[in-house]
Amino acid sequence: MARMQKTKPNQDDRLLVIACGMIAREVLAVKEQLKLDHLDLTCLPAEFHFYPDRIAPAMDKAIEKAKADGYQNIFVGYADCGTGGLLDRVLEKHGVERMAGPHCFAFYQGMDAYAKVADDDMMSFYMTDFLCRQFDAFFMKPLGLDKHPELIKDYFGNYEKLVYIAQTNDPELDKVAEKAAKLLGLVYERRSTGYGDLTAELAQAAAHA
């Protein structure tokens, strides 16, 4: 008897999300929550958070590869994220949409809610679940604060408060955020936002696929 070969899923019926590595866990959580079985995820390096000039050219290559792989439905899990409009130029060239807003700290809160606090948050240092999990790897070690805590004032002296935008309710992450605020000498504020606009925008992109 001949063996049946498994066929690959039709990419025309699937949605590929090309996201920042900082929101990978959250995209997968929304996928599971909404049962978006036809959603696939690939990510650019989370460290691009520090190098926004790398986002647009890397995204250009990622979209070209995705199309070569047969994906017709592509959504970008980035806001502008410090690219100064360069990301939008790439997406316009490819006819691809992205998350609305200036950065993930905005769309996690929801753009309407963010608009109300944006001015008051001008001197705020934002943290998310990801940044709490990676606080040492993303801030302490790269900035040399683990060995030279005297540099804290140089890096964070212009901030007034630390705002933890919480996607989940995890006491361990709360402790990290509170400890970070104390370490940096900032007033601490916690906002429970969940996934904000990420849920609605992924649902809409998946529906179009």
Note whether 67 and 87 are same-domain residues. Answer: yes
Note whether 150 and 85 are same-domain residues. Answer: no
Range of the domain at 169: 111-192
Residue 79's contacts (CB-CB under 8 Å, 6 or more residues apart) are: 98, 99, 100, 101, 102, 103, 104, 106, 107
Note whether 94 and 115 are same-domain residues. Answer: no
Mean of pLDDT over the chain = 93
Select the more confidently predicted residue: 41 or 147: 41
Cα-Cα-Cα-Cα torsion 94, 96, 102, 106, nearest 10 degrees, comes to -160
Whether the per-residue pLDDT at 65 is higher than 50: the answer is yes
pLDDT score at 15: 97
Six-digit token string for 72: 């017709």
Q: What is the CATH number of the domain that holds 59?
A: 3.40.50
DSSP 13-29: G-EEEEEEGGGHHHHHH
- Position 111, amino acid: M
Confidence at 4, pLDDT banded by 50, 70, 90? very low
Cα separation, 174 vs 162, whole angstroms: 12
Summarised one tens digit per residue, pLDDT across range 111-164 is: 999 999 999 999 999 999 999 999 999 888 888 888 899 999 998 999 999 999
Q: Are strands 15-20 and 161-166 parallel, antiparallel or unpaired?
A: unpaired
Name the 3-class secondary structure at 38: coil
> 127: which strand partners?
164
Note whether 140 and 71 are same-domain residues. Answer: no
Q: Global pTM?
A: 0.90
Residue 6 lies in a domain: no
The H or E element that residue 75 is part of is strand 73-77
Note whether 201 and 185 are same-domain residues. Answer: no
Residue 1 lies in a domain: no
Whether the per-residue pLDDT at 77 is higher than 80: the answer is yes
Note whether 20 and 94 are same-domain residues. Answer: yes
CA–CA distances in Å: residue 70 to residues 10, 65, 90, 112, 175: 8, 9, 19, 36, 44
Residue 92 lies in a domain: yes
pLDDT score at 6: 43
Cα separation, 80 vs 101, whole angstroms: 7
Note whether 45 and 62 are same-domain residues. Answer: yes
pLDDT score at 2: 41
Note whether 76 and 158 are same-domain residues. Answer: no
